[in-house]
Structures are given as C-alpha cells and as structure tokens.
Amino acid sequence: MPIQVTPRVQTLLLVFTLLLTTFLSYLPQHTLLRPSSAYHPTWTTSHSVIFNFLVGCIYVSYLRAVVTDPGRPRPGWVPDGVDEVKKEKRDGDRDGDREGKLWGRSAGRWCKKCEAWKPPRCHHCRKCGRCVLRMDHHCPWTANCVGYRNLPHFLRFISYASVTTLYLEYHLIAILMHIWDLPSTSPSTPSFRTLIYILVTLLVNTLTTFSLNILTLRCLYSACLGTTTIEHWEQDRHASLVRRKVVRRVIFPWDIGIWENLCEAMGTWKAWEWLWVGAKTRQDWDPSQPSGWDWERDGGGGVRWEVNGFEGMLMCSSRSLWDCFFS
C-alpha cells in the first residue's frame, strides 16, 4: 500500500531534509574536517571555504524551490481559437469533454477540477489542488510542485547537493584511508566511538550521494530532451500504444535541441546564470501587460512554447498537436 503524502508528512520531510543537510554539512566539520586535523592532515582553510560555499548554495536554492510558486494559469486565460472549440463541443465532442482533453485545434485543455482552461504542458496537481504551468512533478521533499517558475531553483538545489555530497564522500574516504595507514601505537588513532561516527557518517552520505546523483542525472537528462517527468511517462504510454498499433506514432513537439532545451528549463540563455542561486525567478504569462512582455527575455511565460518544426509530419490536421500526441 503506497504511503499517503499528507501535509503533515510533507512537513516532516521538509524538517528531515534540513536536518540531514545540517548533519552532513556541519558535524563533520566540527569533528573531522578541520585545518590541521589529526584525521585529515591535508584539509586546509581553502577546503572549508569551498565546502561552506557549496553548503550555502544548497540552503538558498532549496529554500527558493520551497517558497517559490511554480506558476499557475492566469484567471480567465483562454486558448487561441476558443470560439471554434466551443462550437465543436456543442457539435457533440462528448468524448473530449468527458476525458478533459483538447477540443479542436486550440492549444489548451479544459480542467474539470478547476473548471478553467489550462495551457499546453500544464497539469492539475491533486496535492496542491490547482493547475501548475509546465508541471514536472510534485516533490514531497520541498512540499511544492516543481513547475515553470521554480524549476531552475530545483535543478540548482539538486545539482549543488550532488556536488557537495560527492566532495564530502571523497574526503571521508580520505580520512578512512589515513586512519588505516596509521600504526596501532599512533596517538592519532581515533577512539572506537569516533570510528563508529566516521563509518555512520560515510554510510549516510553514501546513500544520500547515490540517491541524489540518480535524481540529478535523471532531471538533467529530461531537461536536455526538453521533457518533464509527466511528459516522460506520457511518452512511454504513447510508445506502448504505438507498439500495439492503437495510435499512430507522433513526434514529441517541444524538443528543440539540447542547448535550447536547457535554456528553456533554466529560464535564460546566459549559462553563467544557471549556477547563480540569486537568479531572478522568471514570470508567468501576464496578458494584462502585453506591451511589457519580451519574448526573447521572458519566453512564452509557461503558456506558449516553441516547437521543433516536425509538427507538419504528424498528419493530425483534424486534431490539435497536443490531442494527437497524448490521445
């Protein structure tokens, strides 16, 4: 039976994440990783500066991933061609109505739970009780959805956490190797309690490193392909239907190249800002201020998306691109 991630459980996971970060960040420095430490003679002040800088980046990016709204459709948003959509709905497209799918050729779908239109790549989150722009997944560790606005903060958080745990792993192993080479009569030989602490810290950090790096590589791989976690599941489902010859194969429309995909995921083409934890949070589409919206600077605002140019090969002129791909 799956565990229900209730608000109380999410709060506990938030506290656990902060406690785990603190445990792996500061306790080793207090007991083991100090300049001129008997257990790690090569650890210097510069190592401490680098390590604490990385830890600071983890805290800042994590808190921003937690508190930043992932983005939601603006009230009253309607897709282009909504009049045609309503006409086709009145003409008897009840299957689309029942399934909450796209009607006609418009780039949008109707959310039955919110009773409002939602743009392409927008999904309804049951835990948040709302639609989220470019929803990737609901993360219990941040008690928040990962979506259009906070995806860059989330990617920075897991990337800095992965690098920091790898850095710590290297130095914890160096400590064990140094202790192993010590003669039994050496005054630097740690006590049994200290040795147990080192082993426990190494075990916890190893498990954390393994899990974090799998998550980071998976998320960065999806970012390079221009997909979200939900879209990856939908592509698997689509491939299964194609193998069973239920639907015709359709090319995923939003993979516009590795560099462009990464720029879209991080919200900027300036690669040096991808690592900056203080980077400005991108804004979602505001139809009330069209004159102040810059497509090159602000992108599609989580509502409009650049496609890869293969949509002409899809042979789905009677249906929308989204409906053809996700039917």
Catalytic residue among 125, 139, 145, 219: 139
CA distance 192 to 197: 9
Report whether 154 contacts 142 (CB < 8 A): yes
What Rg do the C-alpha atoms of the chain give, in angstroms?
Answer: 24
- 3-state DSSP call for residue 205? helix
Dig out the tokens for 86 from the structure: 């309503």
- Show Cβ contacts of residue 133 under 8 Å, excluding neighbours closer than 6 positions: 70, 71, 72, 73, 119, 121, 122, 147, 148, 149, 284, 302, 303
Concatenating the DSSP letter of every residue in 206-238 gives HHHHHHHHHHHHHHHHHHHHT--HHHHHHHHHH
Q: Is 139 tagged catalytic?
A: yes
Neighbours of 326 (CB within 10 A): 18
Q: Is 325 left (phi over 0), alpha (psi -120 to 50) or beta?
A: alpha
- 3-state DSSP call for residue 20? helix
CA distance 169 to 173: 6
User: HSE of 315 in the Cβ direction (CA atoms, 13 Å)?
Assistant: 4
Nearest to residue 70, comparing CAs of 164, 139, 2? Answer: 139
Concatenating the DSSP letter of every residue in 231-299 gives HHHHHHHHHHHHHTTSS-----TT---HHHHHHHHHT-S-GGGTT-TTPPPPPPP-TT-GGG--HHHHT
Which residues are known to be catalytic?
A: 139
